[in-house]
Homo-oligomer: A and B are copies of this chain.
């Protein structure tokens, strides 16, 4: 009943505290037979070393903090799968910080890191200022940003190649013959959305097309707003109306498709829609959504690996000029991939009868 301590295990197995501790720490200086015996005793009595005591003595908790903007996004759920797979394998556990609106990040980070509650921090899609993190990182605290939304900060990060993804999406539409391609943006304060929009613009321009400001609509990931702005798009006279829409996310694409249906337009016959993310339901809706897949699970894995690598070597390297990582900040940019389903088709034949010349491809 009363919690067992290492001392009890020592007594029960007829050995000394030191030896038991050595067993716990996989020291090679213990006879294999003895080790087995001790482990058997532990198992029999369901002994598990005190987490707090171990943490205090070792100076490390084997806990990593994960800050997320909420769990409801596909992205977060997927990243977590990757992270969990890696941390679990390495015997780390995850402290979850759901970043609600009003939380005070400064003190949160202090709580986690300064109290050495967590050995490292994984920050997913953070909307808050990152300066405090940069400072802590310079002081030697492992931090990795996943899917960061900020412009370049001096922190290791793992992101998807949003710019290239946008290029790929646009390429797909261009190859189908579309020229009047609209863009329904996500939250433009996010780096990823800026990148996607940059890709949109560059792609048009390098195809010799002039981006039409009329065809760019803010959406901010809000279904209602997306729908009403899409209606503006579809209400345009036929020769100005877009034949395709590049949506900054899959749920944005859903809303665009809904608006299209409400406007009496069929997807993909009248208008093509391409999304971004490849969320689970993308394959299930009607029509199945063509989209750009982001490798979230892998991003989670890689991020966790990077973090563990940063943590690993020196468990508490408060000694010795710690400043080794100026070498080069690891910044992983992972490739996206085009998933072709059924929401994009060739440009409607009835439209644009005048001499469309296929612009030369790069």
Contacts and interface: CB of A to CB of B under 8 A. Distances in A.
Interface of A: 1-3, 46-53, 55-56, 59, 61, 63, 66, 70-72, 74, 76-78, 80-81, 84-85, 88, 93-98, 100, 103, 110-111, 114-117, 139, 223, 251, 254-255, 258, 261-262, 280-281, 283-286, 318
Contacts of A103: 88
Nearest to A63: B95
17 contacts: A2-B318, A46-B114, A48-B110, A51-B115, A55-B56, A66-B96, A70-B77, A71-B81, A72-B81, A80-B96, A81-B100, A84-B96, A94-B95, A223-B281, A223-B283, A223-B284, A251-B281
A66 B115 CA distance: 22
A63 B61 CA distance: 13
Nearest to A79: B71
A283 B254 CA distance: 12
A76 to B, nearest CB: 7
A53 B56 contact: yes
A115 B91 CA distance: 14
A112 to B, nearest CB: 8
Contact of A55 (B51, B71, B72, B284): B51
Contact of A52 (B1, B3, B56, B93): B56
Given A52-B61, A56-B56, 15 more contacts: A3-B114, A48-B110, A48-B111, A48-B115, A50-B116, A52-B117, A70-B81, A71-B76, A71-B80, A71-B81, A84-B96, A88-B100, A95-B95, A223-B283, A251-B281
